[in-house]
Structure 1
Amino acid sequence: MSSPELNNPPSAEGRESEVLAGATAGAIPAADNGAPEPAPHDPYAAFRVPAYRLYVTSFVLAIIGSQTLAAAAIFDVDAKTGSPLMVGMIGLANAIPLLTLAMPAGHIADSFSRKRVLIVTQAVLVACPLLLSFWHTLPAVFSMLVVNAVALTFGRPARASILPNLVPKSIFTNAVTWNSSFFELATSIAQAMSGFIIAGLGVQRVYLVSAVAMGLCMVLTCFLPDVRPAGRREPMSWRTLSAGVKFVASRKLVLAPMLLDLIAVILSGATVLMPTFAGMLAGDPASPGYADRKAILFGWLLAAPSIGAVTMAIVQAHLPPFRRAGRVLLLAVAGYGMATLVFGLSRDFWLSFFMLAMTGVFDNVSVVIRHTLVQLSTPDSMRGRVSAVNQIFIISSNEMGKVESGVAAWLIGPVLAVVSGGAATVGLAAVIARKFPELRRLGSLRDIKPDEDHA
C-alpha cells in the first residue's frame, strides 16, 4: 500500500508518499558495560537542519500539486463518461510510463545532479495541469496524464535519493517519518479542498491550483543543495539498469514487503470508485443540490485515508520503532483489508469515512516499515536504481489497483468489487506470513544497515 508519488509522492504519490516514508529513530539502550547513556529521542531533530526544512516545504507543495491533479482527473473523467471502467483507465495511463521508464529513470538519478533532474521534471509537472485548466477534453486529460506520469517517473527516484544526502544518518529515519506525516497531511488537504473547489468553481480551477503549487515547488527546489551521486558515473547498460532489481531480489526482507504492498493495493484499491460511492451516499440524484453534495462527499472520502495516515504518522514520530516490525506489518495489511471490506458494505457516510481513515492508519504503519528497510539497506551509489524498483512496486500497485477496481466494478458492481478485494487482502497477509518466515521474524528496524556487498 502506498502513497501515490514522491514528486507527487510516494506516491507516492498517495499513498504516494509514500516512496519517501520511513521509521522513527529510537535511541539504542546502553549496554551494562559502563557505556554512556544515549541521548533522549528528539522527535523534531530533522527540522533543526535548514536543508531539510526547505526540502519538506517543496515536498508538501509537490504533493498538493499532484493530488489536486489526481482528484480533478478522476472527477472529470467520471463526469464526462459516467463509467467506472473509463475512470479505471486513468491508472493505466499512469502505469505505462512507469513500467517502461522506471529503470532508466533510476540510472539517471544515480548519474546526474538529482537537483537538476527534479527541476526539469517539475517544469513538465507545471505545464500539464496548466494546459488542462484551459483545455480539458477527454483526450486532453488522458494525454496530459501520460506526460505527467513520464515526468513523475523520472522525478521520484531523484527525490527519494536526495534526502539521505541532506540530513545526518543518525536522524534520517526521523526525517523520512516526518515526510510521511507531511505527505498524508498535504494529501488530505488537497483532496478535501478539491471537492469544495469543484462544487464552487468547477474542475478547471482545481487544475489551476495544481499548476500553481507545482510552480512554487520548483522555485524552492532551485535553492536546495546540488547533490551528486556518490561513486563514479557508469554508462547506461543492461547491467547498470538491472542492478536495482538484482539487489531487491537478493534480499527477502526487502522483497517480501514490496510484494505484500503490490498485491494488497491492487486488490483493495478503491480510489477510482469514490465518485460512485459518493453518489450512493449523496442521496436521490433527482433531489436539489445532489451534484454539489456528491462533489463535497467525494473530496472527503478521497481525503479520509490520508487523514488517518497523518494521524498515525505523527504518533509514530513520537514513539521508538516497533520491536516486532514484521508481525506489525502483516497485521497492518490484514487490518487494511478488513477496513476496506467494511467500507464496501457501509451505507452511512461517517462509518464509510472512518473505515477509509483506518485504511490510512494501517497503510502508514506499512509505509514506515517498508521504506525504512528499502532506504537504509541500500548503499548511496544504488539508491536511485533501488528507488526506481521501489516506485515500480508502489506506484504500479496504486495505478493497476485503479484499473482492477474499474474493471471489477464494471463486471460485478462496485460494492462486490470492494468487498471481495478487502477479503482477498486479509488472505494475502496470511499467505505472505507463511511463505516469508524471515519477514514474520523481523525485529527492530533501528539496526538496519546498508548492504555494501551489493553496491
Structure 2
Amino acid sequence: MSSAPGADAAPGSNPTTPTNAPHPPAAAETPRAAVEQPPVRDAAAEAAEPSRRQTFSSLKVRNYRLFATGAVVSNTGTWMSRIAQDWLVLSLTGSSTAVGITTALQFLPMLLFGLYGGVIADRYPKRQLLMLTQATMALLGLALAVLTLSGHVQVWHVYLIAFLLGVVTVVDNPTRQSFVVEMVGPKDVRNAVSLNSANFQTARLVGPAVAGVLISAVGSGWAFLINGLSFAGPLIGLMLMRESELHEVQRPPRGKGQLREGLRYVAGRPDLIWPIVLVGFIGTFGFNFPIWLSAFAHTTFHAGASTYGMFNTAMALGSLGGALLAARRATTRMRMLLAAAVVFGALEMAAAWSPSVWLFAGLLVVVGVFGITINTTANSSVQLATDPAMRGRVMSLFMMVFVGGTPLGGPLVGWITDRYGPRVGFSLGGLVSALSGLAIAAILMRAGDMRVRVDRRGVALVPRQRAPQGQEEQEEEAAAVAA
C-alpha cells in the first residue's frame, strides 16, 4: 500500500484477547534498561521459538498474505510515481530546492495533523479506514496522470497533489502500521513489520527501474497512470479479508482529551521517547534521498532519469537485504538502533564524496541496509512496547516525528544542496545522523551508569565498577589535598 518514504520500512503487539490483556512488560522502562546486556538464554528455549528462524512466518496468515500481495502492487506504482514526480519537478524548475519543497509539502500535513490521525486510527475500524484512504490516493494519482498526459501540468499542480496526498497519509500511516498486529497477533509482529519493509523495498527494486525507462521513452505521465491503477491491488486484498480472523482490539470510546492522553503516555515511557527522538533527527536530516539522488544524477554525474532510477534501485537492494535479515531477528535492542544510526551516518558521508558513479551506487546499497535496520528496529520496538489501545496514537507520533520532520529538513537540505553542491548536502545529512546516535548513546550510558568495554571478546556495554565506599572517600580526600 502506498505510504510515505520510510513508512513501510517499518516504514505492534496485540494479545489474542486484548480486552483484558496486561500491559506488555517493558524491557526498557528506564534508560539503563534500554542499554544493558540481554539475559543469557537457554539453548532449549531458543529452539522452542521457531519464529526465530522462519523469515516468512507472517505469510502463513491468510489476511496478511492478502495485505502483502496488494501492498507490493501498490508500492511498485508508488515508487514509479515518486521517481517520475521528482524528475518532473526537476525538469520543470531545474531546482533541487523545488524537489525539496515538493517532498516537504507531502509531509507537512503529517507534521501539522499527525497526532489526530492516530486518534482516528484508534477510534474507527482500521480495515474500512484503509479502504477509504487507498481509494482516495488512487484518485489523486489518476488526477496527476491526466494533467501530465494532457500537457497541462505545472509545478503548482504537483505541489497541490503532493499536499493532498500528505493529508490522506495522516490517517493512512498510523492505521496501516497499527493494523499489522490485528492481522498477525503478537507472536509475529516483528516478522510482519520486517516483511512490510521487504515488501516495500521489493517494489523499490522494480518501480524506479521501470519509471526510468518510461520517463525516457514516453514521459512521466504513464508512470502516474500506472500508480493510480495500482491501488486496485490493496483495495481487492482488503475486501477479500476475513474479518472473523482479525485479532480484536478494544477501541477507546469517543471522548475529550484522547490526544493529550497519548502524549502523556509517551512522556512517561523512556523506552518510547528515545527511539522516537532518534528517528526524528534521522528522518529530518538523513533521509532526504529524493533531493540528493536526483541532484547527484543530474548535477554531479551529469546523467539522466535512468541513472536516478539506478541509484534508487541500488538503495532498494540494500534495504531489501536488511529487511530480510531483520525478519529473522527475534528481539530488538536500543544498542542495535544506536549503532545502526552511527554507521548509517558514516556511510552517507563516505558516499557523498565518492568519485565515480559505480562506487556511489555500491555505497548506496550498504546505506540501504543500515537505513532499513534503523526503520524496522525503531518501529517494531515502539509497537511492541505500546499498549494496544494506545497504539494508533503512539504510532502517529512516531510517524509524525519520523516523516513530519521532512517539511523542516527538506527545503533546508535542498537549499544547501543547491548552494554548496550535492556532496556537501549529503555529507551534512550523514553527520547529523551519526551525531544524533552518538549523543543519545552518551545520554543513556550516563543515565544507566554504563561504560564501554573493549577486550578480546569484542565491544560491549557493562555497568561501571565503583570503588568501595571507604576507598571513594580516600580518593576524594587525596584529590582535595592535591588541589
Does TM, normalized by the shorter one, top 0.5?
yes
Aligned length: 415
Q: Does 1:78 align with 2:95?
A: no
Q: Which moved more, 1:371-380 or 1:394-403?
A: 394-403
* Residue 48 of structure 2: aligned partner: 38
Of 167, 179, 182, 1:165 maps to 182
2:89 counterpart SS class:
helix
Greater Rg over alpha carbons, structure: 2
Asked if the contact 1:14–1:183 (Cα under 8 Å) also holds between the matched residues in 2, the reply is: no
Q: CA deviation at 1:430?
A: 1.4
* Residue 253 of structure 2: aligned partner: 234
* Residue 301 of structure 1: aligned partner: 311
Q: Which moved more, 1:58-67 or 1:87-96?
A: 58-67
Q: Does 1:102 align with 2:120?
A: no
Q: Give distance in 1, aligned partners of 2:203 and 2:355.
A: 28
Q: Which moved more, 1:81-90 or 1:39-48?
A: 39-48
Q: Does 1:402 align with 2:410?
A: yes
Q: Does 1:8 align with 2:2?
A: yes
* Residue 60 of structure 2: aligned partner: 48
* Residue 338 of structure 1: aligned partner: 346
| Corresponding letter in the other structure for 2:293 | M
| Corresponding letter in the other structure for 1:60 | V
Q: Deviations over 1:44-71 (max 9, x none)?
A: 3211111110111122233223322222
Of 268, 273, 277, 2:296 maps to 277
5 Å-filtered alignment, 1:133-172, equals: 133-135=145-147, 136-172=153-189
* Residue 265 of structure 1: aligned partner: 283
Of 133, 144, 156, 1:132 maps to 144
Asked if the contact 2:192–2:327 (Cα under 8 Å) also holds between the matched residues in 1, the reply is: no
Q: Does 1:314 align with 2:332?
A: no
Structure 1: 5+ residue runs without aligned partners? Answer: 1-6, 23-27, 284-292, 442-455
* Residue 130 of structure 2: aligned partner: 118
Asked if the contact 2:345–2:434 (Cα under 8 Å) also holds between the matched residues in 1, the reply is: yes
Q: Does 1:380 align with 2:392?
A: no
Residues 1:51 and 1:263: Cα distance change in structure 2 (over 3 Å): same
* Residue 446 of structure 1: aligned partner: none
1:436 counterpart SS class:
helix
TM value normalised by structure 1: 0.84
Q: What root-mean-square deviation, in Å, do the aligned CA atoms of Structure 1 and Structure 2 show?
A: 2.7
| Corresponding letter in the other structure for 1:306 | A
* Residue 240 of structure 2: aligned partner: 223
Asked if the contact 1:282–1:297 (Cα under 8 Å) also holds between the matched residues in 2, the reply is: no
Structure 2: 5+ residue runs without aligned partners? Answer: 14-38, 148-152, 451-483
* Residue 449 of structure 1: aligned partner: none
Q: Deviations over 1:97-122 (max 9, x none)?
A: 11222222111111111111111111
Q: Deviations over 1:410-441 (max 9, x none)?
A: 33332212222222322222111112337997
Q: Deviations over 1:83-140 (max 9, x none)?
A: 1111110122112211222222111111111111111111110011111112132121
Q: Give distance in 1, aligned partners of 2:72 and 2:406.
A: 20
Asked if the contact 1:21–1:180 (Cα under 8 Å) also holds between the matched residues in 2, the reply is: no
Residues 1:319 and 1:379: Cα distance change in structure 2 (over 3 Å): closer
| Corresponding letter in the other structure for 1:234 | P
Q: Give distance in 2, aligned partners of 1:351 and 1:343.
A: 8
Residues 1:94 and 1:122: Cα distance change in structure 2 (over 3 Å): same
* Residue 424 of structure 2: aligned partner: 416
Asked if the contact 2:190–2:327 (Cα under 8 Å) also holds between the matched residues in 1, the reply is: no
**Aligned residues with identical type, % of pairs:** 22
2:184 counterpart SS class:
coil
Q: Which moved more, 1:66-75 or 1:34-43?
A: 34-43
2:6 counterpart SS class:
coil
Asked if the contact 1:29–1:37 (Cα under 8 Å) also holds between the matched residues in 2, the reply is: no
Q: CA deviation at 1:340?
A: 1.1
Q: Does 1:367 align with 2:361?
A: no
Residues 1:157 and 1:39: Cα distance change in structure 2 (over 3 Å): closer
Q: CA deviation at 1:76?
A: 0.7
* Residue 357 of structure 2: aligned partner: 349
Asked if the contact 2:191–2:326 (Cα under 8 Å) also holds between the matched residues in 1, the reply is: no
Q: Give distance in 1, aligned partners of 2:224 and 2:86.
A: 12
Asked if the contact 2:182–2:249 (Cα under 8 Å) also holds between the matched residues in 1, the reply is: no
